[in-house]
Amino acid sequence: MKRRLMTWVFCMVALAVSLAACSSNGGGTQSAAETSAGKTSTAPAAKEEPKAEPKEQPKENVTIKFFTGKVETVELIDELIAKFEAEHPHINVEQEYQKDASNVIKVKFASGDVPDITTVYAQDYVDQGKYLDLSNEPFWSRVQPAIKELNTDIKTGKQFRVATNMTMAGIFYNKKVFDELGLKPAATWAEFKSNLQTIKDKKPDMTPMFLAGKDSWTLGHLIEFMAHGVIKQEYGVADARKAFINNESDKLKFDAVGGGIEAFAGRLLELKEAGLINDDALTATYDNQKEAFATGKSALFSQGMWVLGDLLTLNPDMAGDIGFAPFPAIVDGTKPVVLSAEDSVYTITSESKHPEEAKLFLEFLFKPENLKAYSEFLKSPPAFTDVSADWGPLKDQAAAALQAGANIAFTDTPAGFSGDDAGRMVQELLAGKYATSAEFAAAYKDAWDKAWGATNQ
């Protein structure tokens, strides 16, 4: 019995081993033929479905608000916007132009209707943190060093704006008329007034100097270039900028008898009393100014290079007859001046809800082919080193003007006293509100100080 029990146990153990061996052989069932051939059978592998590529999430539609005060470029920017939107279908760019942009932007900042990108720039908005810091953007390596310096904030050393172009402003004059009358561009005020008087005497049907007084910014430029030019040439670009930004009254001397503001007011009243400017100076527009010059009805006017494209559109045949010269010295013993500064400035506001998309739009505008088209349209030299543009027929005359006059920059004004505000004061001067040039100078200083004080409280 014991031997039979042991035999039964050994058989059971052998059976268990045999089953275990079968189980380890892929877990499948083998046929006799496969076992005799010594093959190992595995179950056919399950067919794997190809993995689907992860779908790119659709980009959220975004609207960028672009606010500008630059009338000359509205149509071109609309064309560039259309190209940009075709490349970036999820981004819509809305351009808004306002003639009085420097004052309208104040309302926008106050109301919360803040644009993403704007061409309006003021120092006190920098101080209030209204603009995004652009100092580390890659495009700076392509910008002319002198233009980058002009775009650098005096107080922080950072760049909150970028200019795509360089511009100049001075006196545009009809070369054919000057040659016919034997006149030369004036360096002194006496020479300037004498030229105008000769034109009036010899060509009574022609306006010697045309003012577009209805558009106050054009008169504000007269203050910025001629009156402030006295200060700017005395202290140089950097120190003059500091004086305006910090309201250094000992340098500005806005109300000084014989200073830039008082002298400018007196000179302008001289022209009015002598009939050397247009009778409708207070109601004539910027368009009237361009048309009068292009059609030979006026001999000269004050403006920047941004006007050149429009003049050539109005009269392509006069390209060779357009002259360009510095502003005459309005104070005896000083030099004539010519604006040489940044043009077409762009900023991104710090309150923008779409700063990355705003940067993408600026990156598009700054492509060499787009800047070339912009420069040639505006007749303004590019500020980017990798852009070559045939920007206009006044290249040589512009270079000569820079040599003939002191080079000045734009004025850094308080936001509460823009170029439009200064221009409105000149309107009042021409309308007879101020009895004397000294009274005008005192009122100008008071308005400037109040605006500067309000923005620094």
Q: Is residue 5 part of a domain?
A: no
Q: Is residue 226 part of a domain?
A: yes
- What is the distance in angstroms between the CA of the first residue and the CA of the last residue of the chain? 116
Token digits for 83? 């190209």
pLDDT at 454: 77
Q: Provide the CATH number for the domain around residue 399.
A: 3.40.190.10
Indicate whether 285 and 176 sit together in one domain: yes
Indicate whether 190 and 286 sit together in one domain: yes
Helix (H) or strand (E) holding 96: strand 91-97
Indicate whether 184 and 216 sit together in one domain: yes
Residue 163 in 3-state DSSP?
Answer: strand
Indicate whether 184 and 247 sit together in one domain: yes
Per DSSP, helices labelled H in 317-417 are: 355-365, 368-378, 395-404
Indicate whether 420 and 278 sit together in one domain: yes
Indicate whether 225 and 335 sit together in one domain: yes
The half-sphere exposure of 279 on its side-chain side, counting CA atoms within 13 A, is 2
What is the domain count for the chain? Answer: 2
Which of 378, 405, 440 lies at the terminal end of a domain, its last residue?
378
Q: Are 162 and 284 in contact (CB under 8 A)?
A: no
Task: Give the Cα separation of 276 and 270 in Å (integer).
Answer: 9
Indicate whether 224 and 315 sit together in one domain: yes
Based on DSSP, count helices (H) and strands (E) in the chain, helices before strands: 19, 9
Q: What type of residue sits at position 168?
A: M
Indicate whether 336 and 268 sit together in one domain: yes
Residue showing tokens 């049907």:
205
Q: Is residue 70 part of a domain?
A: yes
Q: Is residue 159 part of a domain?
A: yes
Q: Is residue 196 part of a domain?
A: yes
Indicate whether 210 and 293 sit together in one domain: yes
Interval 324-342: pLDDT, tens: 999 999 999 999 999 999 9
Q: Are 264 and 330 in contact (CB under 8 A)?
A: yes
Indicate whether 180 and 143 sit together in one domain: no
Indicate whether 188 and 289 sit together in one domain: yes
pLDDT at 54: 59
If you write DSSP's letter for every residue of 400-438 in order, what string do you get? HHHHHSEEE------TTS-HHHHHHHHHHHHTT--SSHH
The candidate with the shortest Cα–Cα distance to 136, out of 342, 344, 368, 348, is: 348
Sequence-distant contacts of 440-444: CB under 8 A, at least 24 apart: 440/261, 440/262, 440/265, 441/254, 441/255, 441/256, 441/257, 441/259, 441/261, 441/262, 441/265, 442/255, 444/223, 444/254, 444/255, 444/261
Which of 378, 406, 436 lies at the terminal end of a domain, its last residue?
378
pTM greater than 0.85: no
Task: Give the Cα separation of 236 and 408 in Å (integer).
Answer: 8
Q: Is residue 56 part of a domain?
A: no
Q: Is residue 266 part of a domain?
A: yes
Q: Range of 304's domain?
A: 167-341+394-454
pLDDT tens over the chain, length 457 residues: 334 433 443 444 444 434 344 444 433 333 333 333 344 444 455 555 556 565 556 678 999 999 999 998 999 999 999 999 999 999 999 999 998 898 999 999 999 999 999 999 999 899 999 999 999 999 999 999 989 999 999 999 999 999 999 999 999 999 999 999 999 999 999 999 999 999 999 999 999 999 999 999 999 999 999 999 999 999 998 899 999 999 999 999 999 999 999 999 999 999 999 999 999 999 999 999 999 999 999 999 999 999 999 999 999 999 999 999 999 999 999 999 999 999 999 999 999 999 999 999 999 999 999 999 999 998 889 999 999 998 888 988 998 999 999 999 999 998 889 999 999 999 999 999 999 999 999 999 999 999 988 766 5
Q: Is residue 48 part of a domain?
A: no
The candidate with the shortest Cα–Cα distance to 303, out of 375, 380, 237, 243, is: 380
Indicate whether 158 and 176 sit together in one domain: no
Which of 325, 351, 378 lies at the terminal end of a domain, its last residue?
378
